Amino acid sequence: MRIGIASDHAGFEVRKFLVNALKQEGYDIADFGPEVCRSVDYPDYAAKVGTAVQTGRIDRGILICATGQGMNISVNKFPRVRAALCNDIYLAKMAREHNDANVLCLGGRVVAKELAWEITKTFLETPFQGGRHRRRVNKIHRITDEFNRP
């Protein structure tokens, strides 16, 4: 599984921690930055991950800003991206099982690094249940496809 990850300055330290943990677990990581911890605009980094998910360059994305809200709002503008703000393990599990979420958004000032890792592992390891949930996810795609037609 190829994982894309990015943050803004508020999520920088959590991102670095997660990149190291993911690499130790053997995941293929595309780190979209930023390279140094300085003030940056979260929509720019959400767009990098959103584009990579949308085009299939990565299988799943992880985005971290101060609360996770800005990244979540930004990346959900991309068709075929189903991002979920998950600041606890239960939300990560449900986002995968019921919504087939493909981008995890975290609050770097909301969750500790260790909890962020537990949430991330849950998000990556939990399969989509399909069934009645597939029908609902397909409806989401029809809505976004309709609004994004030229």
Tell me the catalytic residues.
65, 98
CA distance 49 to 143: 21
64 by Cβ neighbours in 10 Å (0-12 / 13-18 / 19+) ranks as buried
- Retrieve residue 107's tokens: 């609050």
Q: What is the DSSP string of 12-67?
A: HHHHHHHHHHHHHTT-EEEE---SS-S---HHHHHHHHHHHHHHTS-SEEEEEESS
Residues constituting the chain: 150
